[in-house]
Amino acid sequence: MSFDTIIQYGHLLLEGTWLTIKLSGLALVVGALCAMPMAVARCSDRRWLSRPVRVYISFFRGTPMLAQLFLIYYGAGQYRHELQALNLWWLFRDPFYCALVTFALNTTAYQTELLRGGIQGVPRGEIEAAKAYGMSSWLRYRLIVLPHAYRIAFPALGNEVILLLKGSAIASVVTLFDLMGQTRTIFAKTFDFSIYLWAALLYLLITMLIVRVWRRLEDRLNPHLRQRTVQRSSTPAVAVAPTE
C-alpha cells in the first residue's frame, strides 16, 4: 500500500468530513428542536394529538432514508410549478437543503420516539408530587418531567447521533461531496482501494469521538451517579428482561 493517493487527495477527504459533520450536525439540532414538542404530543391523552405523531414516527422509521431522500429531492420536481409559486423552489432545488430536510425529518422521528421512552420512564411519584405542589402542567413538564426524561433518554440519543452520522453517507447519492462522496470520486479517479480504508478510518474516528464526548456529557448530566459509575460499554443496549 502506498500513501500517494492519501497525500494527493487527503485535503478533499477532510473537506468531505467537514460537510458530513455540518450536514448531520444541523439535522440533529433541527431534529432535537422538533422532537421535544412532538414527544409531548405523542404522550398526550388526546388521540387527535398523539395519533398523527405516531403515524409520522412509524412512516419515517419504517422506510429507508434513501427512499425518503429520493422522494424529497427528485419528487419535488413533479410539483415544480406549485413550489415556485410558493417561493419554496430554492429549497428543493439544492441537494444540500434536500438532504438536510430529509435527515432532519428522519431524526425527528427517531428522537421523538426515544424521548417518549424517557417521558414514560419518569417515575409516577415525581409527577404526583409535582401535582401535589400545585404545579401547572407547563411547569411540571419544564421542571420535573422533561429534565428527567432527557437524562433517561440521553444514552439512546447518543446512539441516534452516531446512526444519523453514518446514515448521512447517502448524501453522496444526490451529488453532495460529503466524506462518502469525496471517497467515491477519488476512487473513480485513481482506482486506489486504500482510499476506502482511509474513509472508514475517518468515520470510525468521528464515531469514537462522539462516544467519548457523550460519555463526558452523561457524567455531567448525572452528577448524583458519578460515584458509582456503572460499566456502560460492557452492557449491551438491548432490552433484556432480568430473569428474577
> In the complex, which residues of this chain contact other proteins (CB under 8 A)?
58-59, 61-68, 70-71, 74-79, 162, 166-170, 172-173, 180, 183-184, 187, 193, 196-197, 199-200, 203-204, 207-208, 235-243
**Residue 136 Ramachandran class (φ > 0 left, ψ -120 to 50 alpha, else beta):** beta
- Distance in Å, CB of 63 to other proteins, minimum: 4
Cβ–Cβ contacts within 10 Å for residue 238, how many?
5
Between 63 and 84, CB nearer to other proteins: 63
Between 67 and 143, CB nearer to other proteins: 67
* Phi, psi values for residue 98, rounded to 5°: -60, -45
User: Can you state the angle between helices 4-42 and 47-62, rounded to 10 degrees?
Assistant: 160
- Distance in Å, CB of 141 to other proteins, minimum: 28
Q: Which residues contact 231 (CB under 8 A, 6 or more apart)?
A: none
- Distance in Å, CB of 173 to other proteins, minimum: 6
HSE-CB at 198 with a 13 A cutoff on CA atoms is: 26
* Contact between residue 16 and residue 180 where contact means Cβ atoms under 8 Å apart: yes
- Distance in Å, CB of 146 to other proteins, minimum: 26
Cα dist. 103→80, 171, 226 in Å? 21, 9, 34
**Residue 116 Ramachandran class (φ > 0 left, ψ -120 to 50 alpha, else beta):** alpha
- Distance in Å, CB of 122 to other proteins, minimum: 19
- Distance in Å, CB of 234 to other proteins, minimum: 9
